[in-house]
Structure 1
Amino acid sequence: MKTYQIAAQALSDLGVGTVFGLMGDANLAYLGDFVENHGGEFVAAVVEGGAVSMADGYARMTGHVGVASVTHGPAVTNCTTALVEAVRSRSAVLLLTGSTPDVRDHFQDFDLEGFARLTGAEYRRVRKADSVGADIAEALARVTATRTPLVLDLPYDLLEVTVAGEAPRAVPQPPVAGAPDPVLVDDALAALLGSARPLILAGRGAVVSEARGDILALARALDAPVMTTLLAKDLFAGEPENLGVHGSLSHAVAIEELGRVDCVLAVGAALSSFTTDNTALLAGKFVIQIDDRSGAFGRFAPVHIPILGDAAGVVRALVERLVEAEAPAPSGRRVAQLAEAARGLEGKGYRSISGGGTVDMRDAMARFAELLPTGTQVVTDVGRFSFAAWKYLPVDPARFTVPGAFGSIGLGIATAVGAAAGRRDVPTVCVAGDGGAMMGLVELSTAVRHRLPLVLVVLDDHCYGAEYLKLEGLGLAPAHSEVSWPGFAETARALGARAVTVRDLEEFSQVAALLDECAYPLVIEVKADPARRRPEVVAAAGHAR
Structure 2
Amino acid sequence: MKTHEALAKALRDGGAHPLFGVVGDANAYMVDAYARQMGGRYVAMANESGAVLAALGAAQLSGGTGFATVTHGPALTNCVTALVEAVKSNTPLVLLCGDTPATDRENLQNVDQHAVIRSTGTGLEQMRSPATAVADLARAVRRARAERRPIAFNMPAEMQWEEADGTPVSWDVPPLVSPRIEGAGLDDAIGIIAAARAPVVLAGRGAVDGASRDALTRLAQRIEAPLATTMRARHLFAGEDHVLGVHGTVSAPGASDALMRADCLIAFGASLNFHTTAQGSFLKGKRVIQVMDRAQDIGANAVPDVGILGNPSDVAETFLYWLDEAEIPASGFTRDLAPHGLDTPDMGQPKPVRDGCVDFLTALDRLDAILPADRSLVTDAGRWMVRSYGRLTAPGPLDHVTTASFGSIGLGMAAAIGAAATRPERPTVLFCGDGGFMLGNLAELNTATREGLGIICVIFNDGSYGAEHIQFRDRQIDPAITLFDWPDFVTVARALGGDGHVVASLAELEALPAALDARRHDRPFLVDVKLDPDQVTTW
TM-score greater than 0.5 by the shorter chain: yes
Amino acid at match of 1:116: I
Greater displacement, 42-51 / 303-312:
303-312
Alignment of 1:116-195 (within 5 A): 116-163=117-164, 165-179=165-179, 181-183=181-183, 184-195=185-196
List gaps (5 residues or longer) in structure 2.
none
The corresponding residue for 2:66 is 66
1:345 CA displacement:
9.5
List gaps (5 residues or longer) in structure 1.
535-545
Gap change, CA 1:423 and 1:343, over 3 Å in 2: closer
Rounded to whole Å, the distance in 2 between the matches of 1:372 and 1:77 is 37
The corresponding residue for 1:541 is none
The corresponding residue for 1:538 is none
- Contact 2:254–2:342 (CA<8 Å) still a contact in 1? no
The corresponding residue for 2:455 is 454
The corresponding residue for 2:481 is 480
The corresponding residue for 1:231 is 232
SS of equivalent residue, structure 1 residue 244: strand
- Contact 1:195–1:262 (CA<8 Å) still a contact in 2? yes
SS of equivalent residue, structure 1 residue 151: strand
Amino acid at match of 2:82: A
The corresponding residue for 2:360 is 361
The corresponding residue for 1:542 is none
Rounded to whole Å, the distance in 1 between the matches of 2:56 and 2:123 is 15
1:256 CA displacement:
2.6
- Contact 1:246–1:276 (CA<8 Å) still a contact in 2? yes
The corresponding residue for 1:527 is 530
Rounded to whole Å, the distance in 1 between the matches of 2:424 and 2:351 is 36
- Contact 2:67–2:94 (CA<8 Å) still a contact in 1? yes
The corresponding residue for 2:394 is 395
SS of equivalent residue, structure 1 residue 373: coil
Alignment of 1:218-367 (within 5 A): 218-331=219-332, 334-339=333-338, 343=341, 349-353=347-351, 356-367=355-366
SS of equivalent residue, structure 1 residue 259: helix
1:93 CA displacement:
0.7
Amino acid at match of 2:109: Q
Alignment of 1:411-450 (within 5 A): 411-439=411-439, 440-450=441-451
Rounded to whole Å, the distance in 1 between the matches of 2:47 and 2:255 is 42
1:487 CA displacement:
1.6
1:217 CA displacement:
1.5
Amino acid at match of 1:385: W
Greater displacement, 263-272 / 276-285:
276-285
Rounded to whole Å, the distance in 2 between the matches of 1:3 and 1:401 is 34
The corresponding residue for 1:216 is 217
Rounded to whole Å, the distance in 1 between the matches of 2:468 and 2:237 is 34
The corresponding residue for 1:492 is 493
Gap change, CA 1:329 and 1:264, over 3 Å in 2: closer
> Cα deviations across residues 68-91 of structure 1 (Å, max 9, x unaligned)?
110100000000000011111111
Gap change, CA 1:328 and 1:345, over 3 Å in 2: closer
What do you get for the CA RMSD once the two structures are aligned? 2.1
Amino acid at match of 1:211: S
Amino acid at match of 1:380: T
**Structure 1 residue ranges (4+ consecutive) displaced by more than 4 angstroms after TM superposition:** 342-348
The corresponding residue for 1:386 is 385
- Contact 1:354–1:504 (CA<8 Å) still a contact in 2? no
SS of equivalent residue, structure 1 residue 17: coil
1:450 CA displacement:
0.4
Rounded to whole Å, the distance in 2 between the matches of 1:345 and 1:411 is 28
- Contact 1:290–1:309 (CA<8 Å) still a contact in 2? yes
Rounded to whole Å, the distance in 1 between the matches of 2:251 and 2:39 is 48
The corresponding residue for 1:410 is 410
1:133 CA displacement:
1.8
Amino acid at match of 2:161: E
Percentage of pairs with the same residue: 38
1:509 CA displacement:
4.4
> Cα deviations across residues 115-168 of structure 1 (Å, max 9, x unaligned)?
2211111111112112212222222222223222111111011111134x5222
- Establish whether residue 373 from structure 1 lines up as the match of residue 372 from structure 2: yes
- Establish whether residue 25 from structure 1 lines up as the match of residue 25 from structure 2: yes
Gap change, CA 1:208 and 1:410, over 3 Å in 2: farther
Rounded to whole Å, the distance in 1 between the matches of 2:179 and 2:456 is 43
Rounded to whole Å, the distance in 1 between the matches of 2:416 and 2:187 is 43
1:471 CA displacement:
1.3
Rounded to whole Å, the distance in 1 between the matches of 2:446 and 2:38 is 25
1:406 CA displacement:
1.1
Gap change, CA 1:329 and 1:278, over 3 Å in 2: closer
- Contact 2:96–2:153 (CA<8 Å) still a contact in 1? yes
Gap change, CA 1:144 and 1:24, over 3 Å in 2: same
- Contact 2:434–2:459 (CA<8 Å) still a contact in 1? yes
Amino acid at match of 1:192: I
Rounded to whole Å, the distance in 1 between the matches of 2:240 and 2:108 is 60
Rounded to whole Å, the distance in 2 between the matches of 1:63 and 1:345 is 25
1:523 CA displacement:
0.9
> Cα deviations across residues 482-524 of structure 1 (Å, max 9, x unaligned)?
2111122111111111211111233244432343356232111
Rounded to whole Å, the distance in 2 between the matches of 1:76 and 1:385 is 31
- Contact 2:288–2:304 (CA<8 Å) still a contact in 1? yes
- Establish whether residue 107 from structure 1 lines up as the match of residue 108 from structure 2: yes
- Contact 1:137–1:171 (CA<8 Å) still a contact in 2? yes
Rounded to whole Å, the distance in 1 between the matches of 2:5 and 2:265 is 53
Rounded to whole Å, the distance in 1 between the matches of 2:211 and 2:432 is 28
Amino acid at match of 2:534: A
1:403 CA displacement:
1.3
Amino acid at match of 1:525: D
Rounded to whole Å, the distance in 1 between the matches of 2:534 and 2:57 is 32
1:312 CA displacement:
2.0
1:54 CA displacement:
0.4
Rounded to whole Å, the distance in 1 between the matches of 2:345 and 2:177 is 44
What is the TM-score when the length of structure 2 is the normalising length? 0.93
- Contact 2:437–2:459 (CA<8 Å) still a contact in 1? yes
1:31 CA displacement:
0.5
Rounded to whole Å, the distance in 1 between the matches of 2:88 and 2:139 is 22
